[in-house]
């Protein structure tokens, strides 16, 4: 199953690759700074029973 996902930074629009693994939980949230503009991105990931993921990247609330 593919564990690498590409999302767009909600601040600067840069495409960013992230890795998430279903072994770490069916529902995951993490905040990681954009590699380009350094703003915090909130990643929300949901894995279904087959291991397919829905990945969302939003501006982190501070």
pLDDT for the residue numbered 3: 83
CB 26, CB 47: distance < 8 Å: yes
Q: Where does residue 11 rank: exposed (0-12), middle (13-18), buried (19+ CB within 10 A)?
A: middle
pLDDT for the residue numbered 2: 61
Look at the block and give the residue holding tokens 């564990």: 3
pLDDT for the residue numbered 46: 96
Please report, in tens digits, the pLDDT of each residue of the chain (62 residues total): 568 899 999 999 999 999 999 999 999 999 999 999 999 999 999 999 888 899 999 999 76
Where do the domains of the chain lie? 4-59
């Amino acid at each position: 199953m593919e564990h690498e996902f590409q999302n767009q930074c909600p601040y600067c629009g840069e495409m960013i690759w992230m890795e998430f693994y279903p072994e770490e939980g069916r529902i995951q949230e993490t905040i990681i700074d954009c590699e380009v503009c350094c703003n915090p991105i909130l990643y929300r990931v949901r894995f279904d029973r087959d291991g397919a993921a829905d990945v969302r990247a939003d501006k982190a609330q501070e």
